[in-house]
Homo-oligomer: A and B are copies of this chain.
Amino acid sequence: MKTTVIGLGLIGGSFALSLKDKGLSDHVMGIERSEAGARRALELGLVDEIVDMDTALGQSDLIVLATPVDTIPTMAAKILNRIRRDQIVMDMGSIKQELCELTMMHPNRGRLVATHPMWGTENSGPDAAVHGGFAGRTVVICERERSDDDAASAVETIYRTLGMPIRYMSAEEQDTHCAYVSHISHITSFALALTVLEKEREEEHIFDLAGGGFESTVRLAKSLPQTWAPIFLGNKYNVLDVLREHIHQLQILRRMIERDDRDGLLESMHRANKIRDILE
């Protein structure tokens, strides 16, 4: 199988590596807007060659969209305009409603498989690409019934080979759930970093004192703004909803501390502890 990955950062780069490592693709081409990024992706061996869109459309069995989420819907629609019936397009974006709505009535909609692999790190760019990413993490496939069966099956085979359990959802469900379990974590981590940078003027104290707890909570604040701004804005209503609840929960805890309400604090934290049973 010949593949083109569009966007050779953390996600696209790691996916390209996985395709080759698992023998899923014998020739992986890449498209990357940044010239330096394209050069680096070649140097790192993420892809076999850098191509243009015409070559990608002419020669690929599979075209993978791994660019920031705000660029995916129109790019997908334009690629569907030009694709052959034996080719497959898949995306790896974190939100899905705009993509699914924009392509819903496209006569070639069946060639598109809308996916969201729930994996990532706080690093970005071609240098962030790693072997063995994705393994063990869930992938969401949205509106599988709108994809042709052969296209969906091919993509499912790829994800299964990478060791990923598959869940099926509507685009609306996926965007709501991901606001809860992924997007809000990033916002709270960015806000925590800003809080500490604002309050703690003596940087060496942050460095000296930051224990493992702080590091893990603030890790996501290292993530690429260009990746995450479009996700927050593209999933605006879900994100605002969860963010409102999160601020509300912080205010409740704050009021308990203000009032020395030890019992209330203990009860709230015991409830929060339940996350352990769910995650383990």
Contact = CB atoms under 8 A, between A and B. Distances in A.
A84 B22 CA distance: 68
A225 B273 contact: yes
Given A185-B217, A209-B177, A194 B272 contact: yes
Interface in A164-211: 165, 167, 177-178, 180-182, 184-200, 203, 205-211
Interface in A247-272: 247, 249-251, 253-254, 257-258, 260, 262, 265-266, 268-272
A127 to B, nearest CB: 14
Contact of A266 (B197, B217, B225, B246): B225
B275 A209 contact: no
Identical copies of this chain, number = 2
Interface of A: 118-122, 137-138, 140, 165, 167, 177-178, 180-182, 184-200, 203, 205-223, 225-226, 228-230, 232-233, 236, 239-247, 249-251, 253-254, 257-258, 260, 262, 265-266, 268-276, 278-279
